[in-house]
């Protein structure tokens, strides 16, 4: 967070937050270079910063960045995703990446979420989509189709190691 504080003390001047005066386009580029969890944390700095992270053109989520206590990993991740989905219509997201460990159940939770008929994928600015090590059962093709059809300006689609696992 030190990157986001710039206060003048030495010259006897009144404290002033110069970084908050930067234009949104510059602030979102700064936030893009921070880990996503830190980018989101800036939302508590002031009203000016509250939803600024939603304009960051790239989002990299790593499930192990979510706290274990007081919630399990999954619950913290799901809570974040619920909040993110509330604001997705205002998001300028062009690149979205989720990294997770299979053993913690995120894969199944993500597949259930996307396969749900009430879930709508709408990523109108997403230009890059990379799906890697996707294991899917009978809903797999539907999930991939929903993801792709929800990205109208998609320019780069990369599918690596998609596995069809039969479910019983």
How many structural domains compose the chain?
Answer: 1
Q: What is the pLDDT of residue 23?
A: 92
Among 81, 91, 155, CA closest to 113:
81
pTM of the entire structure? 0.53
pLDDT in tens, 125-154: 788 888 776 666 666 677 778 888 888 999
Among 37, 52, 26, 58, CA closest to 123:
58
In which domain, by residue range, is 63 found? Answer: 2-164
Is the confidence at residue 65, as pLDDT, over 50? yes
């Amino acid at each position: 967070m030190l990157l986001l504080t710039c206060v003048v003390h030495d010259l006897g001047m009144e404290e002033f937050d110069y970084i908050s005066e930067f234009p949104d386009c510059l602030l979102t580029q700064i936030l893009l270079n921070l880990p996503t969890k830190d980018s989101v944390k800036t939302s508590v700095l002031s009203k000016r910063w509250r939803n600024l992270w939603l304009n960051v053109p790239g989002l990299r989520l790593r499930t192990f960045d979510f706290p274990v206590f007081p919630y399990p990993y999954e619950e913290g991740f799901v809570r974040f995703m619920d909040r993110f989905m509330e604001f997705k219509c205002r998001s300028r997201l062009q690149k979205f990446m989720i990294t997770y460990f299979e053993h913690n159940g995120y894969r199944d939770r993500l597949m259930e979420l996307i396969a749900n008929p009430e879930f709508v994928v709408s990523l109108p600015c997403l230009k890059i989509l990379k799906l890697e090590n996707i294991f899917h059962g009978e809903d797999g093709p539907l999930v991939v189709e929903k993801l792709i059809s929800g990205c109208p300006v998609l320019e780069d689609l990369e599918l690596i190691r998609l596995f069809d696992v039969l479910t019983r």
